[in-house]
């Protein structure tokens, strides 16, 4: 087995238990945040409690695959590299094997979690599959509700991407080949961030954290809630109190909805805005998504197109749920979405190099029997 090259890590890898003082402060912080979060969630109807129970059953059914992912994460991933000063300003790096890591393409993957339960370890299936195919994957953590509201989450993602641009070469990656991807809340955050960075640049603003939206190869959004009003209605019908949206986004869901932001920005800019300031974009969605209706991806695509953006037709997967692209399908050995992202990395580089995604890699194998995955999908509350 080849050893990984040793690199000088910019920004120390730090443990969350670095000293009794830090541990104590973290426990107090987690306790306060947990109390606040419980209060917010419990404002919903009893149906929300049913959803929590279904989530627990979902996790139990997927336990074998989750255990395999945890084992991989503990042993094969460079964890908790600091990209900023905060407790959650940490990212994980998935590095391809082999001795010669140089100028590899990059995916910065921002995980979902309803702006509440997001965590960087949700990136394991994607990081595992893409790194086995020669891609360096950076998976940043970011503050969730109630630790931060929308502006704090956006700032964390912005900071993490800027850190990646500055430090990619230390991990054998090429900062000219960075693709941004996000799933669910992560897709929402990245799409909103790109629109706001492009708008700021259009009106003469300096790029925050040293990077521009147009610096990236492109953006792939998976299962994103791009229209928050439609998402709120969907979630309220399933028991969640609208107050949690008000806490995260304030009283203006339209201002924080990428689809609505496209319409607002279109009234302010000329035809060159999107072609010069936005990257290429591809949206991916399952048609059986009960959390973020797939039509919101089609809506965002249409409004981006009106804005003049270079956006591909939305890729839809028939009968796929909200979490199928990142959990159930990869656990079954189906890496269709990962292969889509891999192909876009090379398509958007405009290079003659077009390697095929290797589905036969041991890191792309099935991780759970189908009957357990079927039970999990039946219990899945999202």
- List, by residue number, the catalytic residues: 184, 289, 322
C-alpha 365, offset from chain centre: 22
According to DSSP, residue 330 is labeled: H
Q: Is 109 exposed, middle or buried (0-12, 13-18, 19+ CB in 10 A)?
A: buried
Integer angstrom CA distances of residue 81 from 85, 305, 325, 358: 11, 37, 26, 28
Distance CA 128, CA 92 (A): 12
> CA torsion 14→16→20→24, rounded to 10°?
140
Q: Which of 139, 138, 143 is nearest to 155 (CA)?
A: 143
- What is the number of H-type helices and E-type strands within the chain? 14, 8
Place of tokens 């932001």: 261
Distance CA 209, CA 221 (A): 22
């Amino acid at each position: 087995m080849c050893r990984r090259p040793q690199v000088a890590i910019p920004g120390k890898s730090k443990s969350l238990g670095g000293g009794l003082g830090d541990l104590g402060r973290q426990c107090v912080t987690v306790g306060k945040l947990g109390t606040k979060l419980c209060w917010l969630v419990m404002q919903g109807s009893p149906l929300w409690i049913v959803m929590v129970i279904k989530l627990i059953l979902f996790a139990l059914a997927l336990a074998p695959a989750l255990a395999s992912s945890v084992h991989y994460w503990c042993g094969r991933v460079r964890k908790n590299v600091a990209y900023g000063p905060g407790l959650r300003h940490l990212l994980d790096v998935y590095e391809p094997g082999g001795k010669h890591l140089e100028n590899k393409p990059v995916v910065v993957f921002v995980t979902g979690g309803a702006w509440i339960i997001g965590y960087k370890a949700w990136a394991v299936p994607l990081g595992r599959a893409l790194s086995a195919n020669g891609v360096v994957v950076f998976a940043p953590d970011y503050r969730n509700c109630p630790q931060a509201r929308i502006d704090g989450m956006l700032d964390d993602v912005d900071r993490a991407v800027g850190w990646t641009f500055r430090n990619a070469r230390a991990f054998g990656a090429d900062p000219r080949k960075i693709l941004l991807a996000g799933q669910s809340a992560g897709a929402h955050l990245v799409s909103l961030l790109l629109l706001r960075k492009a708008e700021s640049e259009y009106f003469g603003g300096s790029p925050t954290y040293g990077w521009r939206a147009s610096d990236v190869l492109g953006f792939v959004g998976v299962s994103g809630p791009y229209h928050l009003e439609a998402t709120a209605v969907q979630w309220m019908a399933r028991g969640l109190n609208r107050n949690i949206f008000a806490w995260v986004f304030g009283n203006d869901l339209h201002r924080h909805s990428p689809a609505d932001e496209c319409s607002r920005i279109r009234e302010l800019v000329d035809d060159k805005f999107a072609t010069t300031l936005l990257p290429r974009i591809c949206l991916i969605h399952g048609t059986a998504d009960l959390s973020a209706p797939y039509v919101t991806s089609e809506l965002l695509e249409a409004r981006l197109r009106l804005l003049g953006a270079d956006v591909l037709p939305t890729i839809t997967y028939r009968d796929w749920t909200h979490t199928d692209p990142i959990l159930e399908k990869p656990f079954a050995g189906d890496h269709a979405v990962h292969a889509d992202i891999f192909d876009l990395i090379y398509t958007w580089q405009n290079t003659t190099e077009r390697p095929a995604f290797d589905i036969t890699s041991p890191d792309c194998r099935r991780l759970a029997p189908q009957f357990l995955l079927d039970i999990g999908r039946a219990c899945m509350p999202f």
